[in-house]
Each structure stands twice: as structure tokens, then as C-alpha cells.
Amino acid sequence: MISPQTLPYRRAICYSGFRDGQSPDTGVFPSDAEIEADLRLLVPDWEAIRLYACDPHAEQVLRIIDAQQLPLKVMLGAYIGAEVNNPNCPWGGMHAEETLSANRLKNQQEVERLIDWAERYSHIVDVVSAGNEATVDWTDHLVEPDAVIDYVRRIQTAISQPVTFCENYAPWLNKLSGLAATVDIISIHTYPVWEYKTVDEAMAYTQENFESVRAANPGKQIVITEAGWATASNGRGIPPENVGEMYQKQYLEELMAWAEREQIVVYVFEAFDENWKGSDHPLEPEKHWGIYRANRLPKLVAA
């Protein structure tokens, strides 16, 4: 039986190494040298990273950590694609039945890769996730909670590491009660700036999100697998006046001080800006969550 405090406290951050001109969508991946440089940049300040998919990039990262004996633990995630349509998604949640059917097969293959790599790199991978933001109302890759439960159970039978699922805090309050009972750890995302909070309101809101999920799921370890602050916005979903490097520094310093004091595992979102994300607008907020810029120069919080 996995204990309530399964995952020990570590300073943790979300990592995706795609630089300008690279993208998982185009299949242009970072080189080994680029990944090693990224990881060596992170090692002095961070003890764990989160990876989102069992793709060539994640395999590179695991292989390099192993070969270079870098002192990093990894949350390895499976990316599960849409298995059902979601008319509530404002940017494309509807898919052809052939696509949904193909995704179900791909998801099973992704879960098998997750199991394989978690076993192969068991000295590095200390926790695995069966998916990311696949059950929330607005997702473009909707998967029914019962299907996620099946994936979690499949993984649990095959590996010794704890199994989680990463999702916005709100579904864990009711919709995901069955999944909450199944996973070993509940992983929540909290983004006060996406919910129109100012930086001075943000930390209290983060704590409120965390405590609401903990109250709804007594006896479970709750970790935060995404929390961060954007440094630019074109106004799409985030008022431009609420973002910037000073605000990011304030929020993340408050967040990490609270996490250390309470011994709560928090994966900061994220290590590096990713200009391949979102729209073509240069101030698209999806591109600007890193504590480092895409060219690897530090922002204020990492300086």
C-alpha cells in the first residue's frame, strides 16, 4: 500500500526543451547537446523535472540524465489524445470518428511506452502520470474519466512507482472522485493569472485551490504539477497589465517559500519559454511562462 506522503518534497520544474525552430508538431527535436546544456543549467536550482509525453524528446532526456548521472528525478507523463468529442472546447474539440478510434490505439501504445521507460529508468523516474488535462471541460483532447481509471490501473499493475494524473484543480472537487480514489497521488494545476487574479491575490488563491482539493480527498497526497506566471500577454485570456517579469518573480518566490515551508511538491511551470506554442502573435501568453527565455537567458526570477 502506497503511503499518503508517497512523493518526497523536492524543488521541481516542468521541462520541455523545444527551442526556436523546433516543435513536437513538426518533428524537429532538440539535439542531445542542447538537452544536456538545459539540464546542466537547471541542476543547481532544481531536483526534479516533469516531462509530458513518452516521445523522442522524453527518451532523449532520460537517456542523457542516465548517461551523465545528473542528479535529477523525473515525473514521466503519458500524453493521451482525444477519445471523445468535446463541443465545449473553444479551439477545436471535435474530431472524426476515425481520429478518435486511432487515438484510442495510440493512447494504449503510449501507456505501454510509459511502463517500459518507467521500468528501464526506475532509478530516475520516481512518479508517472497517466495523462494531462484530458478531463477538464475545455480540453481539446477529452478522455472519459473511466478510461483514465483503466489506464491508471494498467500502469499500477506493471510498475512500482506511484501513479498520478495531472489536471486542473476544479475537476478533482467532484467530477474525478472515482479517479481520485484510484490514483496514488492527486496532481493539480493552479493558474491564478488565467482566472484574472492580480499577483497580490495570487498566492492566497493558489492556497485556496490546494486546500479545496485536499478537503475533498482526505488521506491523499496532493501535489501541484503546474503553477506559474506568464511574462507577456496579447490580451488573450490574460490582461497584459497582470503579467511581467516582476510579477513572475513575486509569485514564484511566494509559491516556493510556501511549498518548502509546508513540504508540498510543486512543479513550477516552466523552465523555458516555448515560442512554438499558441498563435503566431509574439505576445501570445502560451509562449511566455519560462523562468528562462527561449534563448536560455534568465528572467528576473532566475537571475
Q: What is the mean pLDDT of residues 277-301?
A: 97
Look at residue 187 and give its three-state secondary structure: strand
Whether residue 152 is contained in a domain is answered as: yes
Q: Residue 2 has what pLDDT? A: 46
Whether residue 237 is contained in a domain is answered as: yes
* Separation of CA 133 from chain center: 9
First to last CA, the chain: 42
* Separation of CA 183 from chain center: 16
234 pLDDT more than 90: yes
Number of structural domains (the chain) is: 1
User: What pLDDT digit, counting tens, does each position of 243-259 carry?
Assistant: 999 999 999 999 999 99
User: What pLDDT digit, counting tens, does each position of 86-111 carry?
Assistant: 999 999 999 999 999 999 999 999 99
**Cell numbers standing for residue 174:** 467532484
Q: Give the structural domain span for 58.
A: 11-302
Q: What is the mean pLDDT of residues 281-288?
A: 97
Whether residue 22 is contained in a domain is answered as: yes
Whether residue 1 is contained in a domain is answered as: no
The mean pLDDT of the chain is 97
Find the range with the poorest average confidence among 3-17, 75-89, 196-210, 226-240: 3-17
**Cell numbers standing for residue 266:** 510543486
Whether residue 168 is contained in a domain is answered as: yes
Whether residue 203 is contained in a domain is answered as: yes
Q: Residue 97 has what pLDDT? A: 98
Q: Residue 159 has what pLDDT? A: 97
Q: Residue 5 has what pLDDT? A: 60
Kindly report whether the global pTM for this prediction surpasses the value 0.85.
Answer: yes
24 pLDDT more than 60: yes
User: What pLDDT digit, counting tens, does each position of 46-82 carry?
Assistant: 999 999 999 999 999 999 999 999 999 999 999 999 9
User: What pLDDT digit, counting tens, does each position of 144-189 carry?
Assistant: 999 999 999 999 999 999 999 999 999 999 999 999 999 999 999 9
Report the CATH number at residue 211. Answer: 3.20.20.80
Q: pLDDT band for position 3 (50/70/90)?
A: very low
Closest CA to 248 of 199, 188, 179: 199
Whether residue 2 is contained in a domain is answered as: no
Whether residue 3 is contained in a domain is answered as: no
Answer whether 179's CB lies under 8 Å from 187's CB.
no
